[in-house]
Amino acid sequence: EAQVTQNPRYLITVTGKKLTVTCSQNMNHEYMSWYRQDPGLGLRQIYYSMNVEVTDKGDVPEGYKVSRKEKRNFPLILESPSPNQTSLYFCASSYRTGRGLSHEQYFGPGTRLTVT
């Protein structure tokens, strides 16, 4: 079954304690991305990756790191989480058409993070 998996699904942590949210896809997609969703602000892109070892900042990258060492995995790292990073996080993947546009986005189930 084609899917994007995220772990953990729920996480409560304390300020400053490093954490990693994993994301994995089994569709051999080149394009992967991380989003956060906040009430009233909608979805915002944190980082994206066009392929292995190719990553770039989205609209709200501050406080986050990513890596893309393998095509299937795109972990999101919070080196020193703060309460303003409390949010619902989604990972997504897609492939690109011949014109370079991303095709249908496949979203993971979401990770609800609370930083106290």
Partner 1 sequence: KNEVEQSPQNLTAQEGEFITINCSYSVGISALHWLQQHPGGGIVSLFMLSSGKKKHGRLIATINIQEKHSSLHITASHPRDSAVYICAGENYGGATNKLIFGTGTLLAVQP
Asked whether position 89 contacts partner 1 by CB under 8 A, the answer is: no
User: By the 8 A CB rule, do 30 and 98 touch?
Assistant: no
- Considering the complex, state which of residue 61 and residue 63 has its C-beta at the smaller distance from partner 1: 61
- The 10 Å Cβ neighbour count of residue 14 is 11
Q: Which two tokens stand for residue 94?
A: 């897609």
- Considering the complex, state which of residue 8 and residue 16 has its C-beta at the smaller distance from partner 1: 8
Contacts of partner 1 in 10-69 (CB under 8 A)? 31, 33, 35, 40-45, 48, 50, 56, 58-59
What contacts 90, CB < 8 A, 6 or more positions away?
6, 34, 35, 36, 37, 43, 107, 108, 110, 111
Q: Which residues bind partner 1 (CB under 8 A)?
A: 31, 33, 35, 40-45, 48, 50, 56, 58-59, 88, 90, 92, 96, 99-107, 109-110, 112
